[in-house]
Amino acid sequence: MIRSIVLCASLALALTAGPASAQQRAVPEGRAQVQLSLAPVVKQAAPAVVNVYGTRVEKQQQNPFFDDPFFRRFFGGDFGVPQERVQRSLGSGVIVDPSGLVVTNNHVIENMTEVKVALADRREFEAEIVLRDPRTDLAVLRLKNKGPFPALLLGDSDALEVGDFVIAIGNPFGVGQTVTQGIVSALARTQVGITDYQSFIQTDAAINPGNSGGALVDMHGRVVGINTAIFSRSGGSHGIGFAIPASMVRVVVDSARNGGRSVRRPWFGARLQVVSNDIAESIGLDRPAGALVAAIDDRSPAAQGGLLRGDVIVAVDGQPVDDPEGFGYRFATKPLGGTASLTVLRGGKKVVVPVRLEPAPETRPREAVKITGRSPLAGATAANMSPAVAEELSMDPVSEGVVITDVQEGSAAAQVGFQKGDMILAVNGERIGTSRALEKALRERSRLWELTISRKGQVFTTVLGG
């Protein structure tokens, strides 16, 4: 109460001290001096920013005692009837096409079976999931009703500079559409650890839970980013928010527009590592920057373009590259077809290497199989390795092998701890070369399973019960 009184008193004093400040006022000399509000930009952008609601209904397992007549009579007829549990998610989204194409974060609608979208004018529509792209944490929805709908244009995120004003629009904490304003605090943030392709826009515009999937808008009312994450110790905004740049969003949206169910990106085919201070000094760089080529797949566009082990990539089509994550982002946003010009440092000189922009090939059919039965791998999906599969899983391509591409939540494989990207090398001493061979080996009944696994380059053998 005392604090409120002091605050009100100080406001009153400020109002009574008007004459001195009034003398400094002047008639505006032009439109620029009058229009100091962000309201025109908000009015243009807000109608196309929506609320996204996802739901999933799960039936809990039937009680094992349900078949016992005594328990049914004692506890009543409803004893053991499967109960439904409803999971919900809440986020934001942006309409990017008048036909009703909506972009949001994949984590907003992940595992959801029903999705609804509410517009700023309170109209609500059902939406279908057109495309999910977990590697960028983006998803595209389509409103089931016919448009036209208010839509925003995707801007040029590469033209942003630190200090530019931006507006964040979304639905924080489910309170309703909210607008916050700030500046671009940093660009090309690559050590955030959210997605495979990291080059985030950092902003101090207040972003909170529920803002995910909402728009980061420039002063022209164009979407320059999709708000995705915050750095917070309390769960609320601390002035450090991250947005996926519009250049990456455009790749995902264009894939959905063209009828794709997944995003096809150019294959590079080389493993990169960070340039350390020692490496920078040894090759004549004035600072540790760029991406060092550590290994190359002989079949890849990188090899065919003439890239060599030991090269340091410092730019892609003239855009500077600071680290491997920055290169991955720049290369992944290139459209298929044509070539990209890589500027590399080789032997103290800069060389331009042309690399074709083509998708990773599926050199052999993946033949994905979902493991069933009573083995420790039950619930996992395995496939034959190829450059295409390796690219999807962000792994180094290998010539042969079987890799786990998915693990069902709550399955035996998930409980044991198997992960996407695990390579299955052997089962009970039998080397596994194909997904069909793995499926056959796991059909045999066994009390103990000896599995040899390769995970991120580390090979280990474990024995598990059947």
Q: What is the DSSP string of 384-408?
A: E--HHHHHHTT----SS-EEEEEE-
- Domain assignment present for residue 451? The answer is yes
Of 201, 228, 257, the position where a domain reaches its end is 257
Co-location of 190 and 224 in the same domain:
yes
What is the model's pLDDT at position 401? Answer: 87
Nearest to residue 396, comparing CAs of 263, 273, 264? 273
pLDDT of residue 5: 22
Co-location of 95 and 137 in the same domain: yes
Tokens of 259: 């009828």
Active-site pick, 89, 92, 97, 107: 107
Query: What is the tally of structural domains in the chain?
Result: 4
Q: Which domain holds residue 239?
A: 157-257
Phi, psi of 104 (to 5 degrees): -150, -175
In a domain, 7, yes or no: no
Separation between Cα atoms, residue 127 and residue 95, nearest integer Å: 12
DSSP character string of 4-15: HHHHHHHHHHHH
Domain CATH code at residue 103 = 2.40.10.10
The residue to which tokens 């008639």 are assigned: 27
Say which DSSP state 112 is in. -
Clarify whether 21 is annotated catalytic: no
Between CA 138 and CA 358 the distance in angstroms is 22
> At which of 225, 257, 289 does a domain end?
257
Catalogue the E-assigned strands of 161-278.
Answer: 165-170, 178-189, 200-203, 215-217, 223-230, 241-245, 270-274
Assess whether 107 carries a catalytic annotation.
yes
User: Is residue 232 one of the residues assigned to a domain?
Assistant: yes
The answer to whether residue 73 is domain-embedded is no
Q: Please give the model's pTM, rounded to 2 decimal places.
A: 0.76
Q: Is residue 14 part of a domain?
A: no
| In-domain check, residue 403 | yes
Find the CATH number of the domain harbouring 456.
Answer: 2.30.42.10
Same domain, 162 and 208: yes
Check residue 359 and report its DSSP letter: B
For residue 216, count CB atoms less than 10 angstroms from its CB and return exposed for 0-12, middle for 13-18, buried for 19 or more. buried
Choosing from 89, 97, 133, 137, the catalytic residue is 137
CA–CA separation, 268 and 311 (whole Å)? 14
Residue 398, classified by CB atoms within 10 Å of its CB into exposed (0-12), middle (13-18) or buried (19+), is middle
Q: Name the E strands within 211-277.
A: 215-217, 223-230, 241-245, 270-274
The distance from CA 220 to its chain's CA centroid, rounded to whole angstroms, is 26
| Structural domain ending residue among the three candidates 222, 257, 292 | 257
Are 208 and 276 in a shared domain?
Answer: no
Residues 343 and 427 in one domain: no
Structure confidence at residue 129 (pLDDT): 93
- Tens digits of pLDDT across the chain (466 residues): 323 322 232 223 233 334 444 445 565 566 665 556 888 899 999 999 999 988 877 655 444 444 555 544 444 555 455 556 666 778 899 999 999 999 999 999 888 888 999 998 889 999 999 999 988 899 999 999 887 999 999 999 989 999 999 999 998 887 888 899 999 998 877 766 666 777 889 998 888 888 889 999 999 999 999 998 877 665 666 778 899 999 999 999 999 998 888 888 999 989 899 998 888 888 778 888 899 999 898 889 999 999 999 999 999 999 999 889 889 989 999 999 999 999 999 988 899 999 999 998 888 888 999 998 888 899 999 999 988 888 888 787 666 789 999 998 888 899 889 999 999 999 998 999 999 999 999 888 777 889 999 988 889 898 887 6
Residue 389 sits in the same domain as residue 460: yes
Query: Measured between alpha carbons, how far is 365 from 386 in angstroms, rounded to an integer?
Result: 8
CB 124 within 8 A of CB 144: no
Residues 59 and 126 in one domain: yes
Is the domain of 127 the same as that of 165?
Answer: no
Q: Does residue 137 sit within a domain?
A: yes
CA atoms within 13 A on the CB side of 29: 1
**Which is catalytic among the residues 185, 212, 237, 375?**
212
d(CA 297, CA 304): 10
Rounded distance, CA 307 to CA 123, Å?
54
Q: What is the dihedral of CA 359, 301, 293, 394, to 10 degrees?
A: 20
**Which pLDDT score is estimated for 34?**
53
What pLDDT, on a 0 to 100 scale, did the predictor assign at position 6?
25
Do both 248 and 173 map to the same domain? yes
Same domain, 413 and 441: yes
The answer as to whether 304 is a domain residue is yes
Distance from C-alpha of 443 to C-alpha of 123, rounded to nearest angstrom: 52
212 is catalytic: yes
Residues 253 and 289 in one domain: no
